[in-house]
Every structure is written in structure tokens, then in C-alpha cells.
Amino acid sequence: MKFMSKVVTSACVIIPPREKWEPIQKIRQKYDRKIERWMPHINLLYPFTPKEKYDTIEKDMRDVCASIEPFELILKKFKYFRHKYQTYTIWLDPEPNQKIISFQREILKVVPECNDLIQFRGGYQPHLSVGQFTTYKINKKLKSLQRKWDPLTFLVDKIFFISRKNRKDSAFEVIKTISF
């Protein structure tokens, strides 16, 4: 397949079922400045193929997904990424994340140019972001969230191609759903 472009207005993601959103959204409403743009999600590929090209890659993605057994994820532990200037992103660690990492490696073969998420120092790290913080008391915040959290389990049996308009106030919406 020839090289396709990639855009920040498009992503390939895992989305927990809507009935599991409430406890996640409760935290995000308080701490996530991107709650209006993104639904709760785990990025697999971002930036991703533009929406206009989804049909071009859909068959290959469906072929990969057809070979994947659905698997259960549990969101039970909070972790954080440290950025510069005492800024942090707190996220839920989907377990077993090795399944997501292996799956991501397979779908990346369909669109190898969408490899931004594997470029980080530790490689691809599956995560569901819940907020951004600017505090040196990050461990205290983490413990507080953890203490009040009941683990969430859900079945991953599909992925989603999501897209948004290239405007500040534009929210992502599901364009294609690809089942396992």
C-alpha cells in the first residue's frame, strides 16, 4: 500500500461500552480539559488516516480484526505521565496491556505511517487519560483517586475509527466500527 497521510483529527481507538463511562466521566469532568473533544478511549493509532481514506484501509483492518479473539480489559490502577514544568497526565492502566500492545502492532502493519505512539521513549503505552494536573503533589492525587476507584471490566471486541472537524470546538465522533 502506498503512503497515506495522517491527521490529528482522526484516531483508531478502543472505547469502553457507554454503560461503563459514568465513573470515568465523573473524574474527567473535574480534571480533563479535553472531555468535550474526546470520549473515554484508549488510543491505538493517533494521528491516524484521514476520514476520507477510511474506506481504503477498512478491508485490511477488518482482516486483522477477524483474527483477534475478543478479550477482557480491567481498569483498576491509576498511573501518570510526567511532562515538563511540573505538569502531569493521570491515566487508567488497561490490563492486560500486553494484549493491546500486540494488537496495536498488528493493525500498525496496515498503516505503518501512523506510528507516532510507538515513538515514545518507553514505546507504546496503552492508557485511558482522565486528567491533566500541574502539581508537585501528584502522588497524593494518585492515591486519592485510587482510594475512591472501583475497578471497571469490559470486553474489547471491536475498534473504532473516530474523526472530528479541524476546529477548536469540534468533538470526535465514531465513523466506523470494526468488530473482532
Task: State how many domains the chain has.
Answer: 1
Q: Which three cell numbers stand for residue 135?
A: 502539581
The CATH number of whichever domain residue 168 belongs to comes to 3.90.1140.10
Write out pLDDT tens, residues 101-114: 999 999 999 999 99
* Domain hosting residue 104, numbered range: 10-179
Q: Is residue 112 part of a domain?
A: yes
Name residues of the chain where pLDDT drops below 50: 1
Residue 2 CA, chain-centre distance (Å), reads 26
**Edge-to-edge order in the sheet of strand 71-82:** 128-133, 88-95, 71-82, 152-156
Q: Is residue 172 part of a domain?
A: yes
The three state secondary structure string of 99-147 is HHHHHHHHHHCCCCCCCHHHCCCCCCCCCEEEEEECCCCHHHHHHHHHH
Q: What pLDDT is recorded for position 117?
A: 94
Q: What pLDDT is recorded for position 122?
A: 84
Q: What pLDDT is recorded for position 1?
A: 46
Q: Is residue 18 part of a domain?
A: yes
Q: Is residue 2 part of a domain?
A: no
